[in-house]
Amino acid sequence: MLRLVAVTLRLGGELVLDALTVEARAGEILLIEGNRGAGKTKLLEVAAARRQPDAGEVWIADHDVTALQRGSLPFVRRNIGFAEAAPRFLSRATVLENVMLPLAARGEPAAWAREAAVRALGKVGIVGLGAHDPARLSSGARRLAAVARALAGVPPLVIVDDPSASLSAVDAGAVLSAMCGAVEGGAAVVCASADGAFLAAATAAGARRLRLDAGRLVPGVGTMVALPGRRAHEPRADRAEAALDPLAQLELGS
């Protein structure tokens, strides 16, 4: 679904991404881990067709995005659910209206779009906030709303930057569960995080991990975690929730 080939990005003369080659297949979660400044966010922006690399190719659904004209980019972006690290919403519009927007861009019928948006809000546990103004929500609720917007309608490619930021363990578990649900539906999910607990939980749920350091992939990191009785890259929503649920952890500990 997503393939980055020898992608290089420079910002202000500084090398941010150094000839990265990464692939995310349909039906898997690809975790990009790394410290702050490792280039995770820039990598996601390139993958989401928000930023043009200086060199390399970005293939999304068998289309080389770097070769497209600017006018064609919206048709690529509408197939990508992207939750930014600092999500932005239309002001004075409700959370539900914001979550419906990607579906509007795709030209889905309004009734179905509404239903899908409510379902996406329900997956991250904020269906009750649908009528609220995003500007008045806490940062955690805004993050959940952004993830819901990225997942609404289950686009083929979902990209989430720092999904567990300012979230409780329960909410982070809900996000991971929703991401697993999208993967089970056939989407490819790429997310970047520096949160150890979230990375561990996602790995336990079957996510593939890549480590990024100073714009380069760290060799030897990026193995798939094989879960008993499941495909190597097939995530499990139930395990994801359990891994981040404090009550479950208490039970496991006892």
The two structure tokens encoding residue 147: 């993830």
- Shortest reach from residue 62's CB to other proteins, in Å: 9
Of 114 and 216, nearer to other proteins (C-beta) is 114
Taking the complex as a whole, how short is the minimal distance between the CB of residue 160 and other proteins, in angstroms? 12
234 contributes a contact to other proteins by CB under 8 A? no
Give the one residue of 79, 118, 225, 227 binding other proteins; rule: CB under 8 A: 79
- Residue 53 or residue 206: which is nearer to other proteins going by CB? 53
Which of the ranges 77-85, 162-170, 202-210, 223-231 carries the binding residues for other proteins, by CB under 8 A?
77-85
Binding-site size, other proteins (CB under 8 A):
48
Q: Which is nearer to other proteins, 127 or 218 (CB)?
A: 127
Q: Does residue 177 bind other proteins (CB under 8 A)?
A: no
Residues in region 40-59 near other proteins by CB under 8 A: 41, 45, 49-52
CA 200 to chain centre: 16
Q: 2-11 and 63-64: which strand pairing? A: unpaired
Candidates 28, 97, 162, 245; binder of other proteins (CB under 8 A) is 97
Among 13, 14, 36, 109, binds other proteins (CB under 8 A): 109
Query: Which pairs count as long-range contacts for 172-175, CB under 8 Å and 24+ apart, including other chains?
Result: 172/197, 172/198, 172/201, 172/244, 173/201, 173/240, 173/241, 173/243, 173/244, 173/245, 174/123, 174/124, 174/125, 174/144, 174/241, 175/124, 175/143, 175/144, 175/147
Check binding of 176 to other proteins (CB under 8 A): no
Contacting range for other proteins; rule: CB under 8 A; set: 28-36, 69-77, 200-208, 222-230: 69-77
Residue with tokens 């997956």: 123
With binding defined as CB under 8 A, does residue 166 bind other proteins?
no
HEC sequence for 67-136: HCCHHHHHHHHCCEEEECCCCCCCCCCCHHHHHHHHHHHCCCCHHHHHHHHHHHHHHCCCHHHCCCCHHH
Q: Considering the rule CB under 8 A, would residue 92 count as an interface residue with other proteins?
A: yes
Among 61, 127, 194, 218, binds other proteins (CB under 8 A): 61
Q: How far apart are CA 185 and CA 206, in angstroms?
A: 15
Taking the complex as a whole, the smallest distance from the CB of residue 228 to other proteins amounts, in Å, to 26
Q: Which residues touch 102 (CB under 8 Å, ≥6 apart)? A: 78, 81, 149, 150, 152, 153, 155
Among residue numbers 123 through 162, which ones bind other proteins (CB under 8 A)?
149, 153-156
Which token pair is 79? 């197939």
**Interface residue list for other proteins (CB under 8 A):** 26, 41, 45, 49-52, 61, 69-71, 73-80, 82, 84-86, 88-93, 97, 101-102, 104-110, 149, 153-156, 182, 185-187
